[in-house]
Structure 1
Amino acid sequence: MSNALAPHIDTHAHVFEPGLATVAQPRYVPSYAAPLAAYLEQLDVNGMQRGVLVQPSFLGSDNSYLLAALAQAPDRLRGVIVVDTAHLESELSEERMARLDASGVRGMRLNLVGAAVPALQSAEWQIVGERLAALGWHLEIQAAGAQWEALESALTAWPSTVVIDHLGLPSPDERDAKRRVLRLASRINTWVKVSGFYRSQPGEALSMTSALRSAGLTERLVFGSDWPFTRFEDQRYADLKCRAVEALGDDAERVLGQNALRLMGWGIG
């Protein structure tokens, strides 16, 4: 596959608007709208041909707004949903997953920041992993710090592809977590999103990107803008893309293009 032909893909963005039902006691709910039209405009002006919508944590497992957005631009978008982990069997039944797959969904997300790490080694979760793998979906995880100790053990034999959000949220106070993320990233089924630089302390995301490249893991890195940068709304898409491209150096074209095509199951066209 030629890099020159690969469209640039943003693998992490959110869409929402005021008035949508939220989870109980959310950590943060934006007061502004981030509609699909505004996101597609960001893609256009920043030279990005395709995008991946990730369900915002504050909307919980009601993915209806995300699914409606996917339906508006099915050739250009893919989605990552959130499910009610208390009802895995119904949320991720084979029938429902087939319908979601047809709508453009390619993964499910676990945002574990401030939450307990689920029992991913349990029989129930292993069935989920097998169903994800059967459809080519991935399990996307946002976690930080000491959570990576439990996750490293649980994900070592996870059946499906795993995607680590925001470089694992590296911190200078959590060097052991960084080492665990790097070990996970060395597994053939684990990918890492080069995204959310501003969600880590200055220099940490750049250092982690460099470590991943030095470890020879470039083929499983993808770029994500994290638009509209909730809680960090002063960020600019163009600046974030530029920082990621600089951090990735000669690997930038592959990461923005070929890699994301492979992860999301997209062909060229």
Structure 2
Amino acid sequence: MSETCSAPITGIDSHAHVFSRELNLAAARRYTPGYDATLVQYLKHLQTHGLSHGVLVQPSFLGTDNSYLLAALRQAPAKLRGVVVLERDVSRDTLNDMARLGVVGVRLNLMGKSLPDFRDAAWNDFFGHIAELEWHVELHRHVEDLPGLIRQLMPLNIKIVIDHFGRPDARLDFDQPGFSELLELGLSGQVWMKVSGIYRLAGTQQQNLKFARTALLLLVQSFGLRRLVWGSDWPHTQHEDSVGFGTVVEQLQALECSTQLMRSLLVEAPRELFGFDLPVSY
């Protein structure tokens, strides 16, 4: 199913996963899928909802074996970009090969893990390669720990992307630890936020949506339109029974975005961040 011709961008989903339950799973994992999330299924969801392009993110339960994601990139190179999970000692040749396939970033999923110190010399070569390739570093961690991590990365001249609104707690106010600092760091122009995973914000459906709606207004003020991107987070791991692709599209619509903001979330900001240098039709 090779796809080599470029297509107009009608919308970019900036965060989704593909996998098979038959793959070798990481020994240390918080989740084990009982189903397949295939590229064919994903592309059908995009088409159904009027979206044209997507960014595939390596799920944590596959560890650093990115082979399934890379195979997907080979099948639809014009429509997809990739974000991988890597060991710090990965070779530059391996990174170069991934870049040629459409990989544009590396994910550090730090949920449930000890906080790293990115100032440690052991990270130097790794982040040096990432900066030279002009990839981004994607951080997944609860909001109270994000400002410290971001400040360690900022001097390295690396683009920084934050998952799922920064994983704040929708049951708390906006003065919860880390959130106001995150907004301040957004003023730097070096940090992007994924407007995704509303259902992961720890509250009820109503609490999550109310929080996300106000949070988005604050994020626009701090990050600006061109530093916010939307993602479906398909197939919504750990929430599969209650959330579908249609659910998250409805949640996006319920954020009551202006036409300008919606265009930026779905087209302009992700096109720039992920390198979709294609004609636009929106």
TM-score (norm 1): 0.91
1:24 counterpart = 2:31: no
Deviations 1:68-106 (CA, angstroms, capped at 9, x unpaired): 11111111111000012xxx23x1x22111111001111
| Farther-moved stretch of structure 1 (133-142 vs 39-48) | 133-142
Q: Equivalents in 2 of 1:74, 1:232: separation in Å?
A: 29
Cα distance, 1:186 vs structure 2: 1.9
Q: Equivalents in 1 of 2:272, 2:16: separation in Å?
A: 18
Contact preservation (8 Å) 1:126, 1:159: no
Q: Which residue of 2 aligns with 1:128?
A: 126
Match of 2:264 among 251, 254, 264: 254
Q: Equivalents in 2 of 1:31, 1:9: separation in Å?
A: 27
Which stretches in structure 1 are left out of the alignment for 5+ residues? none
Which stretches in structure 2 are left out of the alignment for 5+ residues? 1-7
Contact preservation (8 Å) 2:191, 2:223: no
Q: SS at 1:192's partner residue?
A: strand
Structural RMSD (CA) = 1.7
Q: Report % sequence identity.
A: 37
Deviations 1:32-80 (CA, angstroms, capped at 9, x unpaired): 1111100000000001100010000000000011111111111111100
1:154 counterpart = 2:152: yes
Contact preservation (8 Å) 1:129, 1:159: no
Q: Equivalents in 2 of 1:246, 1:210: separation in Å?
A: 13
Cα distance, 1:194 vs structure 2: 0.4
Q: Equivalents in 2 of 1:118, 1:102: separation in Å?
A: 29
Q: Which residue of 2 aligns with 1:224?
A: 231
Contact preservation (8 Å) 1:6, 1:258: no
Report the AA paired with residue 189 of structure 1. Answer: Q
Q: Which residue of 1 aligns with 2:178?
A: 177
Report the AA paired with residue 186 of structure 1. Answer: L
Q: Equivalents in 2 of 1:149, 1:216: separation in Å?
A: 14
1:241 counterpart = 2:249: yes
Count of paired positions: 260
Q: Which residue of 1 aligns with 2:112?
A: 114
Q: Which residue of 1 aligns with 2:4?
A: none
Counterparts in 2 of 1:138 and 1:152: CA distance versus 1, 3 Å: closer
1:70 counterpart = 2:73: yes
Q: SS at 1:204's partner residue?
A: helix
Report the AA paired with residue 97 of structure 2. Answer: R
| Farther-moved stretch of structure 1 (181-190 vs 238-247) | 238-247
Alignment of 1:191-230 (within 5 A): 191-200=192-201, 201=203, 202=208, 203-215=210-222, 217-230=224-237
Counterparts in 2 of 1:69 and 1:26: CA distance versus 1, 3 Å: same
Q: Equivalents in 2 of 1:124, 1:159: separation in Å?
A: 17
Match of 1:54 among 52, 57, 65: 57
Q: SS at 1:215's partner residue?
A: helix
Deviations 1:146-205 (CA, angstroms, capped at 9, x unpaired): 322431431332321010000101112771211122122222121000000000022333
Contact preservation (8 Å) 2:192, 2:223: no
Q: Equivalents in 2 of 1:75, 1:236: separation in Å?
A: 25
